Structure 1
Amino acid sequence: MKKIYLLALAIGAFTLSANAQIIEDDIESYSLGPLFEDHWSSWSGAPGPDNAVVTDAFAQSGSQSVFIGGDGVQDALLLLGNQTTGTYELTFFMYIPTDKTGYINFQGATENGGAGAGGNGVFNSGNITFNLDGMNPGIVEDIDADGTVYNTYSYPQNFWFEVKFLFDLSALTYTLSIDGVDGAPVAFGADATVGGIDFFSIDANNEYYVDDVLFVDAAAGVDDFSASKFSVYPNPVQDILNIKSASSVDNVVVYDILGKVVLQENPGKISPAINMSNLPSGAYMVQVTIDNATKTVKVIK
């Protein structure tokens, strides 16, 4: 649900594992259709038309992702456990088709699996808009309902890109990063809780996809998850597939839809480029290995 500025309001569960991982979700374990299970809920806190939808239209990895369309009703919540102490990092990947819009916000304390404050929501961030009103393609704005613009970013249309939040519950700030670019820290807007992320259908032009969600205790370190910290582009690809990574990529194996290995390389460097020009058009699974951890993404040529 979009944050609406009201002066009166303006004045006014998960267990950590030893390796710091709280959520790692590639969306592959769910059936296609409405999603209301595990850490995926909705503004209403109940199954219904505001739920996210699992689709196989696009995927950053595997074959499925979460879809938020343009019906103005979908209002999905990714529940983060109402954390009140510590430092946490949330990353996920988004895909927004050319000229389409998108919207998310960061919620404080949730209630009964739905929006907090009696269903009104607890808005700890501004309205994080992608191509606001269809007038700013490729532009992200974190803007409060009173018009204050906290940060502005750019994103690639028609490609998967990384969205990252760093939540600091000591300083009560969040730092939003879009496609590898950090914004300035922003103070929590309402309470001192990391409750969830709201994925809302902001208008009829809204269309975006979410994949590969990772939520970790940043204070304990996130190095164990380096295999999840990469993206591939362009997708679809014509000749050169770029792998954007923070660590050295050890091995890349490309499989066709029959599971046959059609290309294999051992780059041994950060952010390598893979030449797929000799492969025929079609769907491929690209398996990337970083620091002995492996992850597979679907690529169209």
Structure 2
Amino acid sequence: MKKLLFSLFATAGIVFSVNAQTTKISFESSEGYVLGELVGQNNDVSSFYDTDIDVMDTAEISDEKASDGTYSVKIIDYSDGGFGGIFLTSLNSYDRTSISFNVFVPSLNGSDNIFDLYDEDGNFAVEINLDPDGNFQFAGANDTDYTPIGTYLANKWNKIELKIDYTASTMKILLNGVVIHTTSYDSGGVGIGEIDLANTSGGTDTYYDNIVIQDLDALATSEVSNSKNKVRVFPNPVSDVLNLDSTDKVELMQLFDASGKLIKTFRNPEKSANVSNLKKGIYVLKVKTDKGTSSTKIIKK
């Protein structure tokens, strides 16, 4: 099956902003959603069916399945081969952006389950298809057909994530936390205009949940504290030896660069680490103890 190109830019208003570091949509009551018909619940999230928008009885807020909280959005199957789902606009973007969502396909041999991404100019950028046979397929802006890049399991929640570097025009695709494909990002755009989550009404409903858009640079340099795992790192900035002060047993230390790439692993370490051979810059030190895990931004001078 070739990719389905569908953009709602001609009919849906787009707002492009870069104010927050994380956007999360999980269709919960705390976000203003209620059980039932999706149309009319949020100005930036609505439904489409083929070329029509705001189509009733296409998508609904459901408590049948949920990966985060109580609700998810259900794309209703009519077994008529139509292309229906939801579209999201007014989404934040960053130089290096993570887009993730959870999807539940009840069984194989039913619908194609599709994610489409359009850039800020309305150009098609990426399509991912979880097909009826259990294949994970990808198509980029310049592709005329899908490329198989993995497989997925039905009747369980699967987390799909795209890590897009707009400055380098590269992209990584992850399935359940594992990188399964690295490729170029070819649309030419530098941000998110629209996301579509849909199915082809081929015999199965599809559930989507926990849509998260994050600034990867902010994630890579953020400090995460854990009240059950008090770890102090010093000196910071550091030139040679980094020391840890913790009353808990340190089991593992991992050092990541600002892009999130693992640089070095210290197994069963003492409460110090030699970082003299690192280049100057910002790193994240992840420390695992017998009480939990914490991450701290480290500056190498």
Per the normalisation by structure 1, the TM-score is 0.58
Deviation at 1:196, TM superposition (A): 2.5
Is the counterpart of residue 90 in structure 1 residue 99 in structure 2?
yes
Q: Pick closer, same or farther for the CA change 1:54–1:223 going to 2, 3 Å.
A: farther
Identity of aligned residues (%): 19
Q: Map residues 6-85 of structure 1 onto 2, 5 A cutoff.
A: 13=15, 14-17=17-20, 20-21=21-22, 23-29=23-29, 30-35=33-38, 36-37=41-42, 39-42=44-47, 47-49=54-56, 52-71=59-78, 72-79=82-89, 81=91, 83=93
CA distance in 1, matches of 2:58, 2:201: 16
Aligned residues: 210
Matches within 5 A, 1:32-181: 32-35=35-38, 36-37=41-42, 39-42=44-47, 47-49=54-56, 52-71=59-78, 72-79=82-89, 81=91, 83=93, 86-99=95-108, 100-101=110-111, 102-109=113-120, 116=122, 122-125=123-126, 127-131=127-131, 134=132, 136-137=133-134, 139-143=135-139, 147-181=144-178
Q: Tell me the secondary structure at the aligned position of residue 100 of structure 2.
A: strand
Cα gap change, 1:194/1:77 in structure 2, threshold over 3 Å: closer, same or farther? same
Moved over 6 A (4+): 223-227
Partner Cα distance (1:213, 1:140) in 2: 19
User: Equivalent residue of 2:124, what SS?
Assistant: coil
Match of 2:149, as an amino acid?
T
* TM-score after normalising by structure 2: 0.58
8 Å CA contact 1:108–1:124 kept in 2: the answer is yes
What does the per-residue CA deviation read over 1:241-283, in whole Å, with 9 as the maximum and x for residues that have no partner? xxxxxx9x99xxxxxxxxxxxxxxxxx999xxxxxxxxxxxxx
Deviations 1:221-240 (A, max 9, x none): 1686989xxxxxxxxxxxxx
- Check 1:193–1:62 CA distance in 2 against 1; reply closer, same or farther (3 A cut): closer
Given residue 72 of structure 2, which amino acid in structure 1 is its aligned partner?
Answer: S
Change (3 A) 1:69 1:169: same
**1:51 Cα offset (Å):** 5.7
Report the Cα offset of residue 220 of structure 1.
1.3
* Partner Cα distance (1:168, 1:32) in 2: 36
Aligned to 1:202: 200
**Secondary structure class of the residue paired with 2:114:** strand
Unaligned runs of 5+ in 1: 5-12, 111-115, 117-121, 228-246, 251-267, 271-289, 293-301
User: Are the aligned partners of 1:27 and 1:65 in contact in 2 as well (CA < 8 Å)?
Assistant: yes
1:137-189 Cα offsets, whole Å, 9 max, x none, are: 2x211136954444512222111121101121112333221122211123233
**How many Å apart are 1:34 and its aligned residue?**
2.6
AA at the equivalent of 1:92: F
1:221 to 219, 222, 228: 219
Larger radius of gyration: 2
Greater RCO (Cα-Cα under 8 Å, separation 6 or more): 1
Q: Which runs of 5+ in 2 are unaligned?
A: 7-14, 230-249, 253-291, 295-301
What RMSD over aligned residues (CA atoms) do the two structures have, in Å?
A: 3.7
> 3-state SS of the aligned residue for 1:221?
helix
